[in-house]
Amino acid sequence: MSNRSQFSKMVEVVEDIIIDSDDNEDIFPKSPEECAELKKENGNQLFKIKQYQSALQLYSEAINLCPETAAYYGNRAACYMMLNRHRDALEDARRSVQIDPTFVKGYVRIAKCGIALGDLVTAENAAKQADSLQLGSVTNEMKSIQKIKQFEADALKAKDAKDYRKMVFCMDRCLDEASTCEKFKLIKAECLAYLGRYQEAQEIANDILHVNKGSADAIYVRGLCLYYEDSIDKAFNHFQQVLRLAPGHTRAMEQYKRAKLLKKKKEEGNEAFKLCKFHDAVKLYTEALEIDPLNKKTNAKLFFNRATALSRLTKIKDAILDCSSALRLDDTYLKALLRRAKCYMDIGEFEDAVKDYEKALKMDKSRENKRLLQEAKLALKKSKRKDYYKILGVEKNANEDEIKKAYRKRALIHHPDRHANATDAEKKEQEKKFKELGEAYGILSDPKKKARYDSGQDMDDFDGGMSDIDPTQVFQSFFSGAGGPGGQNGEYFGAFPAGFSFQFG
């Protein structure tokens, strides 16, 4: 049978008694004491079926009839406790032992309320009093008190070590015993803010403010979350409100000063950057980063800003390190990701650039990000091919004559016949270089092939690609076209007889 059904049936029984009786005056007691006792008994029945609000009303009526009966206050205290109204319960429990200093249940309930509220001094004093009246009456309460004390001590050590995760754990264990303790909840909320778990921290603070609008600590936690979420001006308003409510709130004062200094340094750095004073900007951003290591979101922006200034100073590797620091603090920071990718491109780290641009495209599927990724992939593809310009020793903008002169010079140096007396290892090395020179000249001396090569296309995908280039034929063709075995300017090639053909192993 449900609680509501039991309550309805009990009401029906009372009504039946009243209706069936010829003399209602015999049913209802005349004295206030008897009436109060009946209300208490009915309240007890409602309490047993968890109808605490209805029971509370009956206990209050009993108290109004007999205000000097300790048990009535004790019962109402128990009701308040079941409704999580521990402050009201504590007041009733204290009143019960004032009326009857030997009322053990009153002391037990004071101890329970003290524990729930985190007031261990009150809880421990009441527990000792109850135990002196009835040995063993508060065994569980004493265990709870000791447990809370131990975890409070552990939390204090964790605070000194700035181990905020350990502090959250300790506060959760304290709250297992002291479920309504505002102090423990707010310590936990503050630590959650330091850990970057802002939503959880704000929910705790908001719950407390819903009950206690004047809680300076709850307002401080909200301000702390806003500060760490880079809403500096809103955070200022909260810290100022805390100081109006509690002028001696040292943490709010310290955080307010820290927030003002951080904002000032960041703005000074931004102004120096706008004026192209990049060295000054780097210095100011560095000073700002030292103010509050826990402010992850603002510090991520500072690292990014410093990276931007460093890139203007062509300190690319330092800029990459700062972008990486920004992304460790905020892995959704798109600007930092794109800046790092650009830096990787600048120093030829194309694989890393492609990885970053791929992440960026997942975060923001814009045309610009797609274009940047395609460019990075093309650069990576080019970087994995042989650099024919480097092999010939010419710049990428070299003209036809410069390419010919470079080939003539290097081909003569690396031709295998010039190294007939070298070791086998040296011969192989020179053969390799001679072959690469033939490939390089075969591609760069052909306008169509050169254009394809410069655009990043695979040369083997086309007819007449690299696989068709015979370095010996290139050599013979070049020098025969340059005026026969003697070459231009009277160069001597008598060492290479007519019909010479070098075979690569």
Give the pLDDT confidence of 306-351 residue by residue, as tens digits: 999 999 999 999 999 999 999 999 999 999 999 999 999 999 999 9
Homologous superfamily (CATH) for 388-456: DnaJ domain (1.10.287.110)
Average pLDDT over residues 469-479: 66
Take residue 77 and report the two structure tokens written for it: 């205290």
Of the candidates 314, 366, 313, 315, which has an alpha carbon nearest to the alpha carbon of residue 338? Answer: 366
Report how far residue 72's alpha carbon sits from residue 247's, in angstroms, rounded to the nearest whole number: 42
Which residue did the predictor score with more confidence, 48 or 496?
Answer: 48
Q: What is the pLDDT of residue 403?
A: 86
CATH number for 147-258: choose from 3.40.50.2300, 3.40.50.2000, 3.30.70.330, 1.25.40.10.
1.25.40.10
pLDDT band at 40 (very low <50, low <70, confident <90, very high): very high
Instruction: Find out if CATH 1.20.1050.10 is the number for domain 289-384.
Output: no
Q: What is the pLDDT of residue 497?
A: 41
- Looking at the chain, the domain(s) classified CATH 1.10.287.110 span 388-456
Q: What is the pLDDT of residue 500?
A: 43
The H-or-E segment that residue 476 falls in is helix 471-481
Tens digits of residue pLDDT in 409-420: 888 888 888 888
Q: What is the pLDDT of residue 479?
A: 66
64-68, 190-194, 195-199, 466-470: the lowest-pLDDT one: 466-470
Tens digits of residue pLDDT in 278-292: 999 999 999 999 999
Share of the chain above pLDDT 90, in %: 68
**Rg over CA atoms, the chain:** 43
pLDDT at residue 16 above 50? no
Write the DSSP symbol of residue 484: S
The residues, ordered by sequence, that sit 6+ positions from 87 with a Cβ below 8 Å of its Cβ are: 113, 117
- Looking at the chain, the domain(s) classified CATH 1.25.40.10 span 31-142, 147-258, 289-384
Report how far residue 255's alpha carbon sits from residue 190's, in angstroms, rounded to the nearest whole number: 12
Whether the CB-CB separation of 51 and 3 falls below 8 Å is answered with yes
Residue type, 322: D
Q: What is the pLDDT of residue 499?
A: 42
Q: What is the pLDDT of residue 41?
A: 95
pLDDT at residue 493 above 50? no
Write the DSSP symbol of residue 24: G
Whether the CB-CB separation of 287 and 280 falls below 8 Å is answered with no
**Could you name the CATH architecture of 31-142?**
Alpha Horseshoe (1.25)
Q: What is the pLDDT of residue 446?
A: 84
Average pLDDT over residues 64-71: 95
Average pLDDT over residues 400-409: 86
Report how far residue 104's alpha carbon sits from residue 108's, in angstroms, rounded to the nearest whole number: 6
pLDDT at residue 185 above 80? yes
pLDDT band at 126 (very low <50, low <70, confident <90, very high): very high
pLDDT at residue 439 above 50? yes
Long-range contacts at 190-197 (CB < 8 A, ≥ 24 apart): 190/217, 190/220, 190/221, 190/224, 191/164, 191/165, 191/167, 192/164, 192/168, 193/221, 193/224, 193/225, 193/228, 194/164, 194/294, 195/164, 195/165, 195/168, 196/228, 196/296
